[in-house]
Each structure stands twice: as structure tokens, then as C-alpha cells.
A and B are shown apart, each in its own frame.
Chain A
Amino acid sequence: MFGTLIQHEILTNLMTFRFFAAVIACVVLVLATTIALTDNYERRLASYNAALQAHHQKNFSAQTYSGFSPRLERPPNPLSLFNQGLDKRAANSILIRRDKVPSLWDDNYHSAGFDNPFRHLLATIDIVSIFQILLSLLALVFAYDAIAGEREDGTLRLILVNPVGRGLFVLAKYLGAMLCLILPILMSFLLALLLQLQSPAIHYSPGDFLRIGGMFLTTIVYVSTFYLIGLLISSMSRHTGTSLIVSLFIWVVLMLICPNVSLFLVNRFIETEERLEQANREIAQIMERFQREKQELRNPFEWPFLLKGSWSGTSISKNVTYIEAESESEISTVKAYYQELEPRRIRAAKAVWLVRKQAYSETFGRKSTTARNALRLSPTGLYYLATSAYAGTDLVAMEAFFKAARQYQQTILDYFYDKKAFGSRQWFASDKEVVRWRDVPRFSYQPLGGLEDASSRAFRELLQFFLLNIVLFILTLVIFSRQDV
């Protein structure tokens, strides 16, 4: 009997116009988006490779130690086709300097390829957001008449005359509809993957496939949540008309209003200005102290110049290419100057970083955590958070790049200390010998990957989804079994 019910349910759902229209719309949209996004990804990858090539030469072309200021690049993430998250938003290129520790919150000025200051005016879309909007609506359209419709037609009474428990009836409805809903999801995922793999730029590792599987699973749970919401409303209403209108309004609220209102409120009511100003004052003090210390030392590159010759460079990097013989005796003074100055500069930069780090975690960090928690209030937000964790485009994954950059900066500083570079002639002069960068550590960055890591970040959202599903199901069951047929 149970089997017959499911079969019946599947057939009645499959043969409808709404199913047909939704499947076509979903597949066409996913295909169009995939083509556009794949093209976009290829461009970003090409831009990344070009930048990498250019910087590979330029990074190690400095002739003096002080001129060493390599640029690091973050590769684009192919899984951003599913959920782009912060992949395009966060900085993908960092300049490593001795006097500044890189951080996500203030280094977003340099983005390769798409660095239009107005680019955020254009909303962008990814595969997950199509599912998010389209499939949730489809689930509600499937569910609104599942119980109310049968009641109106009088078929509900007929079915329940058979020896079927009401629980079994609801379960059959749910399973039948979910089997139909999985079809467009599966088709879209497979077609999107097939299209993406046609591109020579995209290669997925087995781990990536598992993460895509994670997104697939999340999508199913998400759709199921909306179906259960619709079913709950349907079991409570007498007329399909009412059920439909209520479902649609709930959809608008959950889809558009809930996430936006919560982010809007978090944004308005968490103050950051004051704390940041305080941090800026502290930083100004540190820098002032450093400037004082610097002024106590006599800068050999200030008028009257200590060396006679020619040089180029900025305030922190110098390259002396020619020194007249009479100035040769002054070299040791210049060496002593840098030997004294550079460790202080690095210490000041570290002190500034500690202040900034603290301030950022109390302002932007706190804001983003609160926003994250506020997003969890709606299934839409949950879906976004879980899929961005699987795709590796969430905040944690972005911060991993900056963490690697910070580590690399420290490695470079250690390298300078090891080489006793600050007190050497090659720190500021290349007239005798140019620095060979043979043994300098290279930057290598492995994007945060792996199914385990991603799943552990998505775990809370998935758990919440499952709980929500169970609660909704039980609620529907209770309400339905207490009602007259």
C-alpha cells in the first residue's frame, strides 16, 4: 500500500505542467550560468597565470635586499562556480613588505582581472543561488496542494478509508515529492559538471568531487526543508488558495526578507568606528615613537648626502649602483645605520599588527560572526553558509591565504636575520655584488581543501538543517493527525 501511494504521488507530480516548466527553467538557467561562469573562471585563471609569471620574474629581480618586496597571488577557486562566496571579493594579490603585516580586512585593493572600483554595483550569480531561489519555490509549489488539494477534492477521505496510517500517508507524500524534486537537482548538477569539465582550465580532484557531493546533499536537504514548510501550511489550510498565498508570502519572507533584514540590522547596530579610531590612535603613537627613533639616527640618504654616487629607490628600498671612491669609507656608517634601523622598523610593524589584529577581531571579526549567526535564522542563510564552506569560498578559506602570506613574511624576515642582511652592503648597494636569490624561501600556498575540513565547517549548518527537517515533519504529522478529514 505504501509503495502504491509513493508511486501514485510520483506520477501525479511528474505529469504536471509545473514540474515540466520548473525542470526546463532550472536546467536552462544552470546551463547558461555555467557557461558564463566557466568563461569567467578561465579569464580569472589566465589573469592569475599571467600575474604569476610576471611576478615570478619581478619578485626576484631586486638587486638589493631592501628592494625585495615580492607579490603573492591567490589562484581562483573552480568550486566558486557553485558558490562564489568571497572568491572574487577578497584580495587575490598581496605585496609582502617588511613594514606591514598583511590582513584580509585592509588588503582588498588589489584584485587581478576584475578590479573595477564599481564592480560591486553589478550583482553576480552562481549555481547555488539559482537553486536557492528556483528550487525552494518549486518545492512550495509542489507542496501547497499536497494535503489541502486532496481534502478539497475529497480524495483524502477515500485514501484514508484504506488501512493506511496518517503518518504513512504523509511519509509517502514526502518521499514521492522528494524523489521528483531530486530529479532537476541531479540533472542540473550533472549537466553543470559535464560542461565545466569540457573546459581545459578546470580540473577537479577526487576531493573536489566529494565536496561537490556535499553541496548536492545540502541542496537536497534545503529543498526538503521548503517542501516540509509547504506541507505544514497545506495540512493547516482548508483551501488550496489560502495555502498557496500563505506559502508564497512565507517564501518571500524567508528568501528575501529574513537574510537581508538580519544583515541590515547587524550592520547598523554594531559600531566599529570608535574602536577603529582608538586603534588608529595607538598605531599613530607606535609610528611616532618609531619616527623619533629614526630621526635620532642620521639618515645617510638625506641631504647632505653621505655617499657620492647614484642611486634609486623609495624610502624603504634603496639601490646604490655607483659609489665614488672617496665615499667608500662611509659605507660602514651606512651599514651601521641599517643594522640599527631595520630591526626597529620590523618591531614597530609587529606592534602595529598586534593592535590592528585585536581591533579587527573586535570590530569586523565580531560583525562577521554576528552576521553569520544571524544568517542561520533562515534556511536560505544556512544553505549559503554550508555550500560556501564546501566550496571553500568562505571567510575561513580566504583567511587561510592571508595566514600563509603572514607566515611567508616571517620566513623572509628570518631569512634576512640569518643572512645578516641588514648590516650588509647588499642591503642598499648593488655596485659590488647583486643579490642572488637562489636560497630564498619560495611561497607556496595550498588552498584550504579536503572534504573533512570543509565538512567540519559545514557541520553546524547541516545539523541545523536536519533538525529543522525533523521538527517540521513531526509538526506536520501532529497537526494532520488531529484534523478532521
Chain B
Amino acid sequence: MLWHIVQRELFQQLSSLRFVLATVLIVLLMIVNAIGHIHQYKTQQIEYRRQVSASLERLQRNSNNLYTLVVRGPGGLNKQPSKLSFCAQGSENHLPPSVFGWSAGWGKDLNIEGTLYKVSGLWRLQYGTSPPITGTDIFPTFLKIDWTLIISIVLSFVALVFTFDAVSGELERGTLRLTLSNSIARGTLLVGKFLSTLISLGVALLSGILINLLLLHLSGTLQLNGEEWIRIGGIFAVSLIYLSLFSALGLLVSSLVERSATSLVMLLLIWIIWVVLIPATLGTILSGLNLPQANRDYSELRSAQLKEITERYEARGLYNKAPTRARPPTPATLLWAKFLNEEAQANRGLNKEFLTARIYQIQVARNFNRVSPAAIAQYVIESFAGTGFQRHLNFLKNAENYAKEFNNFLISADRADSDSPHVPFVREGMSDKPVPFESIPKFQDGVRLERIFEGATLDMGLLLLFFTVLFASAHVSFQSKEI
């Protein structure tokens, strides 16, 4: 019986004007997305490879002396662009594309006992600011033409347009009474309507996705491995959950009110507020409550910190004697090493604190945004596509781990040299021999599938919860409806 209803409803849906319009719209958007991506993908990949090889070249140049690596660091650590960025742009062009493992940015020429002693800070991770304005982004492009836009905004709208008259329309035309005069349970009818809507939405989305992937495949930009296909499958699954939520909402409102015009107006208002306005306002308002320290204060803090540490060590006689290569190390060598390490340590702490405050602000805003299913869907699709904020946090973690690995390598490379006094990280206390380039650890960025699922589980659960509540209320209100 259920299958019979689904068949009938589906036939009606698929032959309607709205289905045709929606499918055409989605296919067109998918084509625009594919064309844009083909173009962007090449420049993105070229740029990434250029940056990586520039970093490696720099590393090789600096590997002629272990101490040079200590001062100059590993260079820029670049974020690997996702192959699936056509699914979700994830504001990638607003996020810093790399962090910098560069020199400290301070150095001194000292006159100690009549000779010049040059000293500079140890390398450290520096987190970039957002990229500058570059032309089109002076306009509010809060939406990018990608799968996220098509699914979370356009298709949710289409789902409501498909369902707004599902019950109230039949009631107006009087066909509902006819249908129910057969021995059909109301629950079965509702499930039938729901399934047929979901299937037709799925058909519209799938045809868009297939054309999109076909275009990308023909242009040769689509070279995905098994894992990436699983991620695309994940995106499709999330979309279906998301769209069932909106179908259930449409059915709920449609069975609550008497007239389909009222139902539509109510649904449109709910949609505008829930899908468009809440993600745009709520987060901003609430993130205004915990403002992090301004950049400016931070740079003042940084120079004050350097000054404080320098003065403290100056009082202990830092500037009286320069370090030497003598073995066992002289007190001056040990003091200088201690000073340099402490300064680098303190600065790392400050950089980290600065970053954490900013991440926290965004995370609070994102958590509040989860009131809106559109925001949730966006976050999940982004994490499946390997773009966006969550991915950026992963990248930052990768970079931090690499920084530790790099420093450990420096220490172990110094241990391997028997001529060194082994006092890291002051020049005189360390090996001054070249390091084999191959032995230096290289930065490798990437996403792991299990980490994606870890992050997406909660959001998918939330979407399912929304759906269950909405569908259950639709069921109740349809059961108790006077016909």
C-alpha cells in the first residue's frame, strides 16, 4: 500500500512545474560550479606546489649549517588544498593559507669586550593574518556557488516548495477525503508523501551532482581516490538527512493550517529566519561578547615581553661575556642558551594564546549557529570536503606537531656531532656542520577520514534529532486533523 502511495505521489511530483524548475536551477548551478572549479583548481594546485617547492629549496639552502636551521626555521608550512573544494569552498580564501616557521624577527649587534657579537632569536611558528582584500571580495559574497549553497539554501527552499501544499492543498481540493475513504492509515499516507518528496529531491540533487562530476571528469581535474569517493558519498548522505528535515517541516506546517497560501507564507518566513538570517546574525552577536585582545595590544605585549626577559638576563650579566665554543661550556654559554630558549618559549606561548583566543571566539559563534540546520549542514559538508574552519584547525595542529618534530630533530642532529658542546640553542653551543637534507623532517599536511567522521558525528546526530522532532510533530498533527 505504502509503495502504491509513493508511486502515485512521486509521479505527481516529477511531472510538476516546480520539479522541472528546481532541477533546471540545480543543474545550472552545478555547471557554473564545475566551470569555476576547473579554472580555480589548476591555479590552486600550481600555487601550492610552487609554495612547497620554494619552502623546500629554502630548507635545503639553510641545511648547510645546523645553526642556520635553528635561527631560520623550516620556512612556510602550507595548507594542502582540498581536491573536493568544489563541494564546499569553506571560506578558504578568507583563511590564512600557511603558517610561518620563520626567524624571530629580532636580532642585535652587540659590542662585548670590544668585539662584535651578533645574536638573533630562535625560529618560531607565526600565524598569519587573513589575506588582504583582492577585488571582488569588497562585495558581500556570503555565499559561494558550491554544493553547500545548492544543498543548504536552494534545496531546502525547494523542499518547502514541494511540501507546502502536500496536506493543505489536498484538503482544499477535497482529494484528501477521497484518499482516506480507502482503507489507508493516515500514518502510511504521511510517510508516503514524505518518501516521495525525498526521492524527487534526491533525483534533482543527484542529476546535478552527476553532471557536475561528469564535467569535472571530462576536464581531467577529478582525480579522486577511494577515500575521497567515500567523502562524496558522505556529503550525499548528509544532504538527504538535511532535506528530510525540511520535508518534514513542510509537512508539519502544511497539516497544521487550513489553507496552502497560509502554509507557504509561514514556511517562507521560517525558512528566511532559520536558514538565511540566523546563521548570519546569531553568531556575530554572540561572538561580540568575548572579544579577544586587539592585534596591536598583542604586538605591544610581545615587545614588552622581549624587553622584560632581556632586562632580567642583563641584570644577571648577559651582556658582559659572549658565549664560546669551549668544552665543557662556560657559564656565559649556558646563560645565553637559557636566555634564548626562554625568550623563544615565552613568545611561542604568547603566539599560541593569541591564536587560541581567536579560535575560541569563532567556536562559540559556531556553536550558537548550530541552532540553524543550514549552519550544521554547512559545517558537516565542509568537514567532509576537507575545507573550512575545522580543517584549518587540523592544519594548525599538524603544523604544531611538525614544529615539535623539527626541534627534536635539531637536538638529535646536534647530539650526533661529537665536536659540539651540546648546549642548544645558542650558536656557540651547537654543531656548525651541514645536515643531510634528506634527514630533515618535511612538513606533511593532510586529512584523515576517521577524524572527519569524529567531527561530523555530533552534527549529524543534531540533524537527525531535528528531523525526528519535526517528523513526529507532523505525524501527530496529521493524525489529529479534522478532515
Chain B nearest Cβ from A116, distance in angstroms? 5
Segment of B206-214, B233-241, B338-346, B355-363 in the binding face: B355-363
The residue in B127, B138, B292, B358 that gathers the most chain A C-beta atoms within 10 A of its C-beta is B138
Bits for B206-225, please: 1 = Cβ < 8 Å to A, else 0: 00000000000000000000
- We find that the number of chain B residues with CB closer than 8 angstroms to chain A is 74
Contact across chains for B291 and A113 when beta carbons are under 8 A apart: yes
Query: A residues within 8 A CB of B43?
Result: 273
Contact across chains for A32 and B281 when beta carbons are under 8 A apart: yes
Beyond A43-B291, A266-B136, A305-B111, is A123–B142 a contact (Cβ under 8 Å)? yes
Is A252 in contact with chain B by the CB < 8 A criterion? yes
The contact of B116 among A124, A137, A261, A303, by CB within 8 Å, is: A303
Beyond A105-B133, A268-B40, is A122–B269 a contact (Cβ under 8 Å)? no
Is B145 in contact with chain A by the CB < 8 A criterion? yes
Bits for A290-323, please: 1 = Cβ < 8 Å to B, else 0: 0000000000001111000000000000000000
Is B104 in contact with chain A by the CB < 8 A criterion? no
Contact across chains for A260 and B145 when beta carbons are under 8 A apart: yes
Is B25 in contact with chain A by the CB < 8 A criterion? yes
Chain B nearest Cβ from A2, distance in angstroms? 28
The residue in B130, B135, B161 that gathers the most chain A C-beta atoms within 10 A of its C-beta is B135
Is B262 in contact with chain A by the CB < 8 A criterion? yes
Is B301 in contact with chain A by the CB < 8 A criterion? no
Closest to B295 in A: A115
Measured between alpha carbons, how far is A122 from B367 in the docked complex, in Å?
Answer: 12
Is A148 in contact with chain B by the CB < 8 A criterion? no
Closest to A93 in B: B296
Query: B residues within 8 A CB of A25?
Result: 269, 272-273
Is A467 in contact with chain B by the CB < 8 A criterion? no
Contact across chains for A108 and B133 when beta carbons are under 8 A apart: yes
Measured between alpha carbons, how far is A263 from B392 in the docked complex, in Å?
Answer: 25
User: A-side binding surface: helix, strand, loop or mixed?
Assistant: helix
Is A86 in contact with chain B by the CB < 8 A criterion? yes
Query: B residues within 8 A CB of A39?
Result: 288
The contact of A252 among B25, B145, B273, by CB within 8 Å, is: B25
Closest to A47 in B: B294
Is A106 in contact with chain B by the CB < 8 A criterion? yes
Measured between alpha carbons, how far is A78 from B140 in the docked complex, in Å?
Answer: 19
Beyond A263-B141, A303-B109, is A367–B25 a contact (Cβ under 8 Å)? no
Query: B residues within 8 A CB of A263?
Result: 136, 139, 141
Contact across chains for B268 and A123 when beta carbons are under 8 A apart: no
Segment of B91-99, B399-407, B444-452 in the binding face: B91-99
Closest to A20 in B: B265
Contact across chains for B359 and A123 when beta carbons are under 8 A apart: no
Interface residues of B in 381-425 (CB under 8 A from A): 388-389, 392
The contact of A141 among B136, B149, B265, B295, by CB within 8 Å, is: B265
Contact across chains for B266 and A384 when beta carbons are under 8 A apart: no
Contact across chains for A269 and B135 when beta carbons are under 8 A apart: no
Bits for A142-155, please: 1 = Cβ < 8 Å to B, else 0: 00010000000000
Could you pull out 17 A-B pairs where Cβ atoms are within 8 angstroms? A21-B265, A115-B295, A117-B96, A121-B94, A124-B284, A125-B284, A130-B277, A133-B276, A141-B268, A252-B154, A256-B143, A260-B141, A267-B136, A270-B135, A364-B135, A371-B138, A384-B139
10 A-B pairs with the lowest CB-CB distances in the bound complex, closest first: A367-B135, A120-B94, A123-B142, A125-B280, A364-B135, A123-B280, A36-B285, A18-B265, A371-B136, A267-B136
For the A-B complex with A114-B291, A257-B25 known, give 19 more contacts whose Cβ atoms are closer than 8 Å: A17-B265, A18-B261, A112-B294, A116-B361, A116-B362, A121-B362, A125-B280, A125-B281, A129-B280, A242-B17, A260-B143, A260-B145, A261-B29, A264-B32, A264-B141, A265-B36, A268-B35, A364-B134, A375-B139
Q: Which A residues are closer than 8 A to B by beta carbons?
A: 17-18, 21-22, 25, 29, 32-33, 36, 39-40, 43, 47, 51, 86, 89-90, 93, 104-125, 129-130, 133-134, 137, 141, 145, 242, 244-246, 248-249, 252-253, 256-257, 259-261, 263-270, 272-273, 302-305, 363-368, 371-372, 375, 384, 395
